[in-house]
Amino acid sequence: MSETIKTDVLIIGAGPVGLFAVFELGLLDIKAHLVDILDKIGGQCAELYPEKPIYDIPGIPLITGHGLTEALLEQTKPFKPIFHLGEMVLKVEKLGDAQFRVTTDGDKVFECKCVVVAAGGGSFQPKRPPIQGIEPYEEKSVFYAVRKMEAFRGKKLLIVGGGDSALDWTLNLQPIAERLTLVHRRDEFRGAPDSVNKMRALVASDDMDLKIGQVTALEGGNGVLTAASIKTKDGVDRIECDAMLPFFGLTMKLGPVADWGLTMEEELIPVDTAAFETNIPGIFAIGDINTYPGKLKLILSGFHEGALMAQKAYHYVYPDKRLVFQYTTSSTSLQKKLGVA
Ligand SMILES: Cc1cc2nc3c(=O)[nH]c(=O)nc-3n(C[C@H](O)[C@H](O)[C@H](O)COP(=O)(O)OP(=O)(O)OC[C@H]3O[C@@H](n4cnc5c(N)ncnc54)[C@H](O)[C@@H]3O)c2cc1C
């Protein structure tokens, strides 16, 4: 059964802009939950360039993608945001004035007064490996993410890939699998050297197998996998398996955002520049996902958009109250909310 969660605002996307929106909303006593399809916060900063330095965050001469994510998380802490990671928002429905229902693929339902779409370039989705006939097995015996490790206990597992995800899941699932085989196209790995060493030690002690080659075909029926063919330099090996986990990286796709009744322009959401509200009152779009004359896809633009969005959202959340503009430097009331007064 779906769980219904009531909140003032539901933020779709926990990238830098969604995170800063929590802060701006929090200053105005507006509570937020955030949903992100990634299993971590930080959006592009965390997924695409965690170690790269960013030089154009106002007042911070240099900070990495990871560092910025950590700093934003710290800044949101007084407002106790609740994150729902590893879930994709599928549906946004208007129930009435300042009333929305938002549904995720994790079977959660949110009822909220405003929706903030901070979905960036869209949802990060796994790249499908080029194996003919893979589709019927997806989400039955082929999985692009591990949501519950227990689902793989006692199974014959095939993990495919050479990056950190493939190596991390190899190390995590090997102790509970009946037998685990890691397949990678070459005998060099992009993952952390420590993980590579641990994986090689498990192979040396015969606790798992490593195949250098490519998965070319799957065997089974009705979505139930029984074996996979691996093309190696010496020929084709057949490996019995119950489940395959390919980790071929992520790609950004717009995803379900296009189905929510919002006006779209070339996969972006047009907004007004007074409040960054969409064509549906009460639904806002901030950060890389929106468009307006002069838009720059920069983190600092998304921060500004979040501040103005919060001012308008206040009127939906507290229709009978008057909003008084205040500075964090001089308002004791804001400082109390931040836990510094
Ligand atoms: C290599 C690189 C370098 C960059 N360098 C800079 C720089 O130096 N300075 C700068 O200002 N900007 C830089 N950028 C751009 C910057 O990263 C983006 O402007 C910023 O990440 C936008 O933030 P956002 O929160 O709007 O979106 P994102 O960071 O894209 O986050 C959006 C999040 O929403 C999630 N999402 C989308 N749809 C759904 C859904 N239906 N359900 C659940 N979750 C969903 C996604 O999974 C994602 O995590 C760079 C970008 C790249 C790729």
Assign 44 to helix, strand or coil. Answer: helix
User: Token digits for 323?
Assistant: 């909003």
Q: Is 161 in the pocket of ligand 1 (CB under 6 A)?
A: no
Overall average pLDDT of the 242-267 stretch = 92
**Smallest Cα–Cα separation from 36: which of 125, 145, 123?**
123
pLDDT (tens digit per residue) in 157-197: 999 999 988 999 999 999 999 999 999 999 999 989 999 99
* Residue 192 amino acid letter: A
Q: How many angstroms separate the first and last alpha carbons of the chain?
A: 43
198: CA distance to ligand 1 center in Å?
A: 33
pLDDT (tens digit per residue) in 288-338: 999 999 999 999 999 999 999 999 999 999 999 999 999 999 999 999 999
Assign 334 to helix, strand or coil. Answer: helix
Distance between CA 63 and CA 313 in Å, rounded?
30
User: Token digits for 282?
Assistant: 């009460």
Residue whose CA is at the smallest distance from ligand 1 atom 26: 287
pLDDT (tens digit per residue) in 271-293: 999 999 999 999 999 999 999 99
Q: Is 269 in the pocket of ligand 1 (CB under 6 A)?
A: no
Q: In the 8-state DSSP scheme, what is residue 174?
A: T
Confirm if 83 and 6 have CB atoms less than 8 A apart.
no
Assign 195 to helix, strand or coil. Answer: helix
51: CA distance to ligand 1 center in Å?
A: 15
Residue 1 has pLDDT above 70, yes or no: no
Q: Which atom of ligand 1 is nearest to the CA of 56?
A: 9
277: CA distance to ligand 1 center in Å?
A: 19
Distance between CA 43 and CA 16 in Å, rounded?
7
Count of helix runs (H) and strand runs (E) in the chain: 7, 20
Q: Which atom of ligand 1 is nearest to the CA of 45?
A: 17
For residue 46, what pLDDT band results from cuts at 50, 70 and 90?
A: very high
Q: Is 118 in the pocket of ligand 1 (CB under 6 A)?
A: yes
Distance between CA 254 and CA 88 in Å, rounded?
12
User: Token digits for 216?
Assistant: 């070319």
Q: Is 292 in the pocket of ligand 1 (CB under 6 A)?
A: no
Q: Is 48 in the pocket of ligand 1 (CB under 6 A)?
A: yes
Give this prediction's pTM: 0.84
336: CA distance to ligand 1 center in Å?
A: 31
Q: Specify the long-range contacts of residues 202-210, CB closer than 8 Å, at least 24 apart.
A: 202/170, 202/171, 202/174, 207/174, 208/170, 208/174, 208/179, 208/180, 208/181, 208/182, 209/179, 209/180, 209/181, 209/182, 209/239, 210/181, 210/182, 210/183, 210/184
Q: Which is it for the CA torsion 121, 124, 125, 130, positive or negative?
A: positive
Rounded to the nearest integer, the mean pLDDT of the chain is 95
What is the 3-state composition of the chain as percent helix, strand, coil, each rounded to the nearest 5? 30, 35, 40
Ligand 1 pocket test, pick from 44, 92, 102, 104 with the greatest ligand atom count within 8 Å of Cβ, gives 44
**Smallest Cα–Cα separation from 257: which of 164, 121, 125?**
121
245's torsion region: left (phi>0), alpha (psi -120 to 50) or beta? beta
Residue whose CA is at the smallest distance from ligand 1 atom 15: 298
Distance between CA 157 and CA 181 in Å, rounded?
6
Paired residues of 57 in beta bridges: 60
